[in-house]
Structure 1
Amino acid sequence: MKNILTSAVILATLTAAASAADLPRRALPPAPVPLPVFTWTGAYFGINAGYITSTKDVTNTAGVIRTSTGIPLGNYSISVPLQRDGFTGGGQVGYNHQFTPGSGFVVGVEADAAYTDLRGRNSYKSNLAGTNSFRQSGDYLGTVRGRVGYAFDRTLVYATGGFAYAGQTYRASLFQTDIQPNYYGSRSRTETGYAVGGGVEYALPTDSFLNFFRSSAVTVKGEALYYDLGTRTIPVLPTYRNVNAFATRFQNEGVLGRVGVNYKFGSY
């Protein structure tokens, strides 16, 4: 009897073990897939548009009044306001490097070129004779600048500065009569100097209605720059037989504010 009970227990144990072996094994849950982290590293290109205005708005003219035989009668000097402002629009290319993905320091370089409708003109009746007229225009402005900033994930705050250049045209006409000016000067040059400023740039989410590429590579920015291209003095010489000569100094300083859109190569 004892042997029968022992055999039954062993048989039941073996049957239960065999049944457990036939049960399906419980699969481990899949490992979570890490979400990609946005980085500002990469090359980009884009367009911009905004408003530009001069901050130094005075021309200065000086000379010596002489008799027909060349004897000096006295000095002549005038200062004339010459406000200039207008539209600016163009494009930019650049490259950024972010040291740590997500949030961290970002350095880069950017080059841009833009059309500028920066024109000013002023005419008034001279206290000697005729009309004095002054004109200054800027047709384009470009910069090559470094950028240093800090990224808060998709928001980049940066400072910028570097080389600036612009196309400028200067004209001065003194003692204009009904026939022609008695003295006239004109110059067209590419002026050089520097530009500094800062801005904020934001990378659009893929589901934003403004993200027309439906990627994480479209950014929008707002930027302000101050530029200084120095001064330019041009000779204002007689247009026919005369013994006098003058010189007019123009100034080239201003600020601009603009917004832009960039497409960055490499979303993450």
Structure 2
Amino acid sequence: MKTLLASLAAFTALTAAASAADLPRRAPPPVFTPVPVFTWTGAYFGINAGYAFDASSNNTSSFAVPAPYGNGTTAYFSQRNQEGFSGGGQVGYNFQFTPGSGVVVGVEADAQYLDFGRSRNNALVVGPLAQGVYLTDPRGLSSLDFFGTVRGRLGYAFDRVLVYGTGGFAYGSGSADRSFGGFAGNDSFRTGWTVGGGFEYALPVDSFLNFFRSSAVTVKVEGLYVNLDRNTRNQGAFVINAANNFPVAYNNIGRRDDEFAVVRAGLNYKFGSY
């Protein structure tokens, strides 16, 4: 009897072990890998290219030609051909308060080449003009070779899309010798302000455009209005001696704002936070 009970107990134990082996094993809990949340925080640099055009309301200026170069003669200068290519580079830094979506503040500086129309000797002359002289007005936008800005930016990010406004300091200058003989009186440097806005989109990190292995490559479309205020030193129209390309008379009363707009596309490489 004891042998039978021992055999029955052993059989029961073996059966229970076999049944436990057939039960499904409890799988380990899955490892949670958080998805990185994109942030616009970080420094960046990039390039841009676009189109610039005159945005002033006064596109015509006049000049009474003094004797002996004119006799009751008036010249009218039109701001024709004041448009062309603009291109350059920018650097900046953004800070986003909440990753993903949220307010973004930043600062950006850029320097731009300008290719405005270069014909400023398109005066309409009413009355006689002495032989051997011509007229020019260096106040026009075509005297600008480059401009730059230092701006603040304020925007809102919808994940990888940033919509922003921007504004700040602007400056510009041109080559004096592009109008006539490098005359020192042609003070071409000017300062002013700019305002605008745009939107920017961050491409995936593995974008084929990511040549510098940056944390993000962004593309943007931006528009700026630029107003550069000229001072009054020798800013009027000039009578130029064609033989030596030197001014023989000028009107130094001619304060004028240079106003133009720029529409451009850009590419940025962002470094820092992902």
Q: CA deviation at 1:80?
A: 2.3
TM-score (normalised: structure 1): 0.75
C-alpha deviation, 1:186, in angstroms: 4.8
Q: Report the AA paired with residue 87 of structure 2.
A: G
Letter in 2 for 1:104: G
Whole-angstrom distance in 2 between the partners of 1:15 and 1:194: 90
Q: For residues 235-246 of structure 1, what are the structure 2 equivalents within 5 Å?
A: 246=251
Residues 50 and 237 (structure 1), Cα distance of their counterparts in 2 relative to 1, 3 Å cut: closer
CA distance in 1, matches of 2:173, 2:231: 12
Report the equivalent of 2:84.
86
The reply on whether 1:99 has 2:102 as its aligned counterpart is no
Consecutive unaligned residues of structure 1, counting only runs of 5 or more, are 68-72, 174-183
2:170 aligned with 1:164, yes or no? yes
In structure 2, relative to structure 1, the CA distance for the partners of 1:22 and 1:215 (3 Å cut) is farther
Query: What per-residue deviation string (whole Å, max 9, x for no partner) do you get for residues 217-255 of structure 1?
Result: 111111110011124442567889xxx863352431000
Question: Residue 158 of structure 2 corresponds to which residue in structure 1?
Answer: 152
1:246 aligned partner, one-letter code: N
* Kept in 1: contact 2:171–2:190 (CA 8 A): yes
Which residue number in structure 1 is paired with residue 29 of structure 2? Answer: 29
Equivalent of 2:260, from 246, 249, 254? Answer: 254
For the residues of structure 2 that align with 1:114 and 1:238, how far apart are their CA atoms? 31
Q: 1:35 to 1:239 in 2, by over 3 A?
A: closer
TM-score normalised per structure 2: 0.74
Aligned to 1:140: 146
Give the fraction of aligned pairs with identical amino acids, expressed as a percent: 51
- Partner of 1:127 in structure 2? 127
Q: What's the CA shift for 1:58? A: 2.8
Task: State the AA in 1 paired with 2:163.
Answer: V
**Residues 203 and 255 of structure 1, relative CA distance in 2, 3 Å threshold:** same
Aligned pairs (5 A) from 1:56-67 = 56=56, 58-61=59-62
CA gap 1:58/1:248 in 2 versus in 1, 3 angstroms: farther
| Contact kept in structure 2, 1:126 and 1:132, CA below 8 Å | no
Partner Cα distance (2:172, 2:240) in 1 = 29
Backbone CA RMSD of aligned residues: 3.6
Aligned counterparts of 1:82 and 1:64: Cα–Cα separation in 2: 19
Q: Give the Å deviation of 1:63.
A: 5.7
Which residue identity does 2:116 align to in structure 1?
L
Provide the C-alpha distance between the structure 2 equivalents of 1:123 and 1:28, rounded to a whole number of angstroms: 85
Aligned to 1:179: none
Match of 2:187 in 1: 188
More strand by share: 1
Q: What amino acid sits opposite 1:266 in the alignment?
A: G
Give the superposition deviation at 1:27.
3.6
